[in-house]
Structure 1
Amino acid sequence: MMNRFLFIFFIIVFFMFVFSVPAFASEQSVTFSKKDQQKMINVAHRGASGHAPENTMAAFQKAVEMKADYFEIDVQMTKDGELVIIHDTTVNRTTNGTGAVGDLTFEEIRSLDAGSWFDEKYAGEKIPTFEEVLDAFRGKIGILVELKSPELYPGIEEKIATVLKERNMDRPNNKKIIIQSFNHDSVQQSKTLLPNLPHGVLAGPSWRNVTDEQLKEFATYADYFNPNMNIVTTELVNRVHATGMLIMPYTSRSQKQADRLFHLGVDGIVTDYPEHVYKHPVK
């Protein structure tokens, strides 16, 4: 009698295990806890650029409202030496003007409409200055500063350092300013000027086969290795972590992409849609 009871018991346990494991595995592959989400650094790419025109005050304010940890900005320089926030090296795509940023004066840049291309409700949005962004948002959210094509703007590293020092933002105690660039020489120069600020190396798809030696070299002056998301693997994440650097890939534009990066073990995600990474309600 006892043997029969044990047999039935083991049959029940077996079927419970068989039918429950697939469901559990599937759930584990696509979900993660609120606690884990809060550990993930949520970087709003060019502001919350899925919701407002990129690199505008509206997009930065939206990132604050969505409770991102940082927003990312692209800094370039006008013909007359003003630091302005715009991604492309021309104004053609995101404004009603034409021409290279470095060939236009600040007055000419400032006269452009940087919002209508996204939606008419943003008509009249201007290209902001670096100083305006810092003054409006410091203390409210972290700012990830990208030196955009610094080879076009000799001296831009010094100008950025001066602006930060004038605001006593060169000695943060909360790591709320990070500087990065695809130009690794520029990152090294900036690190020399601002040794107390964390810096990051940006890496495009061509860095898919980055070596351990290259990562170790980056780690001598950078705190982050921030690659294109398409080259990120668990192995790369582990190798970056082994050097002491953190990794924040760019640019996630879907929930599926954000979930994949999360499960690869990255430290942060650069995204057009902060809600995919850190699901706070929008105020």
Structure 2
Amino acid sequence: MGKKTNIGLALAASGAAIWAGTKMTSKPVKRQTKPFFEGEKPRIFAHRGGAALAPESSLAAFKHAAELGVDGFEIDIRMTKDEELIVFHDQFIDRTTNGSGRVSDYTLAELKEFDLGYHFRDLQGEQTYRGKDEKILSLKEALEAFPDHLFNIDMKEDPDTYEGSLMPSKLWRLIEKLDVMDRVLVTSFYDEQIDRFSLYSQDRVAIGAGENEARKAFSLFRSGFGHLYHPNADAIQIPTKHKSIPLDSKGFIEFLTALNIQVEYWTVNDVETMDRLLRLGADGIITDRPDIAIHLVKND
């Protein structure tokens, strides 16, 4: 055995000892509970206002969900040509309005000329909202219209775009101006967007995990090294499974709960899955069918 081999084995052994020592001594770091999470659980969030019951992201949807008794709304935001934040999911307006083109090619005033209920069909397949004057909402309008509700805000713009580069700072300034820090949670599939927003918010707003953060949490839990996970988010919002991998195990929920991380599942629309998740200990459900979820919670 050569000298280099001996040195290599010694370094490997040293590294293993350090790794083992870390495993023995590292302690999980719990997140501090933000005001956003205070109150009774489980909580029901209407996905885009309850997209199965009224046109998604519309005032009608939010009003209906509020009347049903939801705790809050899960919404997406985009940026207009005149740099206004609007409540809207898609990059294009074609799917949900009678217009066409990119959101970013229109001003807020121009977008409000389109019919947000144009393509919506209710549970019976009827176009009950076409021509009913449902308009695209600005984020400011939505936050001011529902002062007693929580908002789970998903930044949709890609961080590499012009709109994406401005969105975190624009969002923070609006939250600060309206003084709604305690009733919003900000998240994005893009971890970079969350990091940018956090530079402004400085831990004054609840943060949801991005895709990479959620993957890291699950990977460490599944590999047996969950004690090495140091969370950078206050909540993890996930589907019940990713491809063929289930994400809704009792063990994973308990792992996150022990770190004071809120666990919410999207987009859950059937009563059987809702009931199972809540019995497993999920903190909340994000759903297109808030009517079903509210009925389940109230009659549990």
List gaps (5 residues or longer) in structure 1: 1-37
2:264 to 248, 259, 268: 248
What are the within-5 Å matches in structure 2 for residues 1-283 of structure 1? 39-119=41-121, 120-122=127-129, 123=131, 124-138=133-147, 140-151=148-159, 152=161, 153=163, 154-170=165-181, 172=182, 176-194=183-201, 195-203=203-211, 207=215, 210-212=219-221, 219-220=231-232, 222-230=233-241, 231-279=247-295
List gaps (5 residues or longer) in structure 2: 1-39, 122-126, 242-246
Q: Give the secondary-structure state (helix, strand or coil) at the position aligned to 2:265.
A: coil
User: Based on CA coordinates, which of the two structures has the bigger radius of gyration?
Assistant: 1
Is the alpha carbon distance of 1:256 and 1:95 closer, same or farther for their aligned partners in structure 2, counting shifts above 3 Å? same
Task: Work out whether residues 186 and 206 of structure 2, in 8 Å CA contact, stay in contact via their aligned partners in 1.
Answer: yes
Is the alpha carbon distance of 1:218 and 1:46 closer, same or farther for their aligned partners in structure 2, counting shifts above 3 Å? farther
Task: Work out whether residues 194 and 210 of structure 2, in 8 Å CA contact, stay in contact via their aligned partners in 1.
Answer: no
CA deviation after TM superposition for structure 1 residue 217, in Å: 5.6
Q: Give the secondary-structure state (helix, strand or coil) at the position aligned to 2:264.
A: coil
- CA RMSD of the aligned region, Å? 2.4
Taking the aligned partners of 2:158 and 2:207, their CA distance within structure 1 comes to: 15
CA deviation after TM superposition for structure 1 residue 44, in Å: 0.7
Is the alpha carbon distance of 1:82 and 1:214 closer, same or farther for their aligned partners in structure 2, counting shifts above 3 Å? farther
Which residue is 1:5 aligned to? none
Which residue is 2:8 aligned to? none
CA deviation after TM superposition for structure 1 residue 106, in Å: 2.2
Equivalenced residue count is 237
Query: How does the TM-score come out when normalised to structure 2?
Result: 0.72
CA deviation after TM superposition for structure 1 residue 63, in Å: 1.3
Q: Deviations over 1:238-262 (max 9, x none)?
A: 2222332111111011112211211
CA deviation after TM superposition for structure 1 residue 277, in Å: 2.4
Amino acid at match of 1:159: K
CA deviation after TM superposition for structure 1 residue 202, in Å: 4.4
Q: Give the secondary-structure state (helix, strand or coil) at the position aligned to 2:144.
A: helix
Q: Give the secondary-structure state (helix, strand or coil) at the position aligned to 1:160.
A: helix
Query: How does the TM-score come out when normalised to structure 1?
Result: 0.76
Identity among equivalent positions (%) equals 28
Amino acid at match of 1:266: A
Q: Deviations over 1:29-54 (max 9, x none)?
A: xxxxxxxxx62111111112221111
